[in-house]
Amino acid sequence: MHRYVLHNDAIRNASEPCLSAGQAGFMTGWGVFSTIRVASGVLFAFERHFARMKRDAALVRVPFPHDPDWLEERLIRLVQANDARDATLRVNVVRNNGGLFHEPVGRDFDVVAFTADLAKWGGSVRLGVMQQARHAHNVFAGTKVTSWAFNLCWYEQAHEEGLDEYVLLDETGHVSECTSANIFAVFGRDVVTPPLSCGCLPGITRELLLTTVDLTGTEESPYKIREGALTLADLERADSVFVTSSTRDLLPVASIEGIRVQQGSPACSDLNRTFQQYKRAYVESRAVASAR
């Protein structure tokens, strides 16, 4: 974490106390968050992160700022304070009042954000498998809430086993996602990712690949990216498998515990090259707009 954090309207030193134990959201994980890639001082795909947080906040009854410009302006001040032009930014919006045990706070919610250096993810990921890790039919499935302990436990356990993450399966045995990434399987030019009905988070990189990034410029015929149910057997018969997240973009899967993963397809590198072109164009357009 860098030196300064954002707390509502103020940029504070990270070591400065600014929260109380009676704030309900901080004691119970009653809040929403997002992790945003800062590229050349621009919050990449900020409007999509804001929209997802707002949807999740409404579902879990967390008060949330109505104006995206209000939040973006404060996050940019944090980026500037930390000189974090190429970094990771985590923003949390946490409910203050409610529940059985809380100390009344005048503010309905707190915004807390910080930046950190980009993680060194390496060139590929090694995955294990975790059964019964997502309840796809739960009304809160797919919400990105600050109660993140299960994911952190699995992430830590995976590293203890010499892995990077787990493939998380839902209650029917279908692939949902990874501990902190979405997953895709490649079948020729057909690229498939689990639908939201399998309990996965609607990742921003996943959303961009499904809806926005122009794939017509890829070599040969364009790839078709779609949602579809996947099993471990599907991952084994796929030409390749890759994961996506806001901090990793696209990374190939080198291995999955218990099955054989093929490595022959160029899809991940092709799609990542196209995605990087989209990201550069987005950053340039936002930088020009900000300079006006």
CA distance 244 to 250: 5
Report if residue 249 sits inside a domain: yes
Report if residue 91 sits inside a domain: yes
pLDDT in tens, 127-137: 999 999 999 99
Report if residue 57 sits inside a domain: yes
Structure confidence at residue 186 as a pLDDT band (50, 70, 90): very high
CATH code (residue 65): 3.30.470.10
CA 129 to chain centre: 20
Whether residue 172 sits in one domain with residue 57: no
Read off the pLDDT of each residue in 94-118 and give the average, rounded to a whole number: 88
Q: What is the mean pLDDT of the chain?
A: 93
Place of tokens 């997953």: 183
Look at residue 106 and tell me whether its pLDDT is greater than 90: no
pLDDT at 290: 64
- At 21, is the secondary structure helix, strand, or coil? coil
pTM for the model = 0.94
Report if residue 287 sits inside a domain: no
Whether residue 188 sits in one domain with residue 65: no
Whether residue 101 sits in one domain with residue 129: no
Structure confidence at residue 104 as a pLDDT band (50, 70, 90): confident
pLDDT in tens, 20-57: 777 888 888 999 999 999 999 999 999 999 999 999 99
Whether residue 56 sits in one domain with residue 27: yes
Look at residues 89, 116, 143 and tell me which one is the last residue of a structural domain: 116
Report if residue 26 sits inside a domain: yes
Look at residue 292 and tell me whether its pLDDT is greater than 60: no
pLDDT at 249: 96
Look at residues 81, 99, 116 and tell me which one is the last residue of a structural domain: 116
Indicate left, alpha or beta for 143 from its phi (over 0: left) and psi (-120 to 50: alpha). beta
pLDDT at 47: 97
Report if residue 246 sits inside a domain: yes
Q: Are 177 and 201 in contact (CB under 8 A)?
A: yes
Read off the pLDDT of each residue in 207-213 and give the average, rounded to a whole number: 95
Whether residue 137 sits in one domain with residue 275: yes
Nearest to 99 by CA among 27, 24, 20, 23: 24
Report if residue 247 sits inside a domain: yes
Whether residue 240 sits in one domain with residue 139: yes
More confident residue, 107 or 155: 155
Q: Work out the angle between the directed axes of helices 46-59 and 204-211 (0-180°, nearest 10).
A: 120
pLDDT in tens, 215-258: 876 666 789 999 999 999 999 999 999 999 999 999 999 999 99
Whether residue 140 sits in one domain with residue 101: no
pLDDT at 288: 65
- Residue type for 138, please? N
Whether residue 102 sits in one domain with residue 141: no
Structure confidence at residue 140 as a pLDDT band (50, 70, 90): very high
Look at residues 93, 116, 139 and tell me which one is the last residue of a structural domain: 116
Joined tokens for residue 169: 């399966």
pLDDT-above-90 percentage for the chain = 86
The tally of domains found in the chain comes to 2
CATH code (residue 147): 3.20.10.10
Whether residue 130 sits in one domain with residue 104: no
Whether residue 132 sits in one domain with residue 41: no
Whether residue 206 sits in one domain with residue 69: no
pLDDT at 99: 76
pLDDT in tens, 64-89: 999 999 999 999 999 999 999 999 99
Report if residue 206 sits inside a domain: yes
Q: Are 33 and 144 in contact (CB under 8 A)?
A: yes
* Residue 65 belongs to domain spanning: 4-116
Whether residue 267 sits in one domain with residue 167: yes
